[in-house]
Amino acid sequence: MKPALIIVDMLEEFVRGRLKSPQAEAIVPAIRRLIDAAHRAGRPVIHVVDSHLPFDAEFRVWGKHAVKGSPEARIVEELAPSKEDLVFEKRYYSGFRGTGLDTALRDLGVDTVLVAGIHTHICVLHTVADAFYHRYNVYVVKDAVAAFSKKDHEYALNYMKQVYGAKIVSLEEAEKLLSG
Ligand code: ZN
């Protein structure tokens, strides 16, 4: 198994900005642990992050957020990428759409993705859906993803398991998977 860690949207906007939630803040330490485990094992760490243009479709639903180049579109400092980490900017919910993520994963020889970040029922779910269609084995780290409500979170975990065959794993299980 050749896993990569994919971290979705751990941005100022969603952790401490206008679209913040205590749930997003609460998973920061768990994601830090995953990053450290991936680094120790020499596995790729990849952030996929909102970087919106002023006319993007999502603004109709959420209002203006995480605009490209703004302070809100910065990854929170606790999870700031190190030199070897990769960052892909996106304008859609899915980390695969229009980003080149799939090509990069193939170049790296990755066959399995472990997904963490926010929000379980939005960008995590859409990223998992595309990972499924691109034929990756998908693990969702339940202690390292979050939504605005527990109901949305639980619903999305169950949906990804049933519809995309994602395996839902704990933080400890994910650390083991990363370290092989
Ligand atoms: Zn967005």
- How many other C-beta atoms can be found within 10 angstroms of the C-beta atom of residue 62? 15
pLDDT in the model for residue 151: 98
What six digits make up the tokens of 179?
Answer: 């370290």
For the chain, give the mean pLDDT. Answer: 98
For residue 18, the CA-to-ligand 1 centroid distance in Å is 12
pLDDT in tens, 119-156: 999 999 999 999 999 999 999 999 999 999 999 999 99
pLDDT in the model for residue 50: 98
Distance CA 157, CA 167 (A): 9
Q: What is the CA radius of gyration of the chain?
A: 15
pLDDT in the model for residue 148: 97
pLDDT in the model for residue 80: 98
Secondary structure class of 80 (helix, strand, coil): coil
Residue 11 φ/ψ, nearest 5 degrees: -105, 155
pLDDT in the model for residue 180: 80
With bands split at pLDDT 50, 70 and 90, how would you rate the model's confidence at 76?
very high
Is the pLDDT confidence value at 75 over 90?
yes
Is the pLDDT confidence value at 94 over 90?
yes
pLDDT in the model for residue 10: 98
pLDDT in tens, 164-180: 999 999 999 999 999 98
State the DSSP string of 12-64.
Answer: HHHHTSTT--HHHHHTHHHHHHHHHHHHHHT--EEEEEE-B-TT-TTHHHH-S
pLDDT in the model for residue 128: 98
For residue 130, the CA-to-ligand 1 centroid distance in Å is 17
Q: What's the average model confidence in pLDDT over 103-122?
A: 98
For residue 1, the CA-to-ligand 1 centroid distance in Å is 31
Query: Which residues have a beta carbon within 5 Å of ligand 1, which is an ion?
Result: 50, 58
For residue 13, the CA-to-ligand 1 centroid distance in Å is 10
**3-state percent helix, strand, coil for the chain, nearest multiple of 5:** 40, 25, 35
Q: Domains in the chain and their CATH numbers?
A: 3-179 (3.40.50.850)
Percent of the chain exceeding pLDDT 70 equals 100
Residue with token string 């929000």 = 119
For residue 85, the CA-to-ligand 1 centroid distance in Å is 21
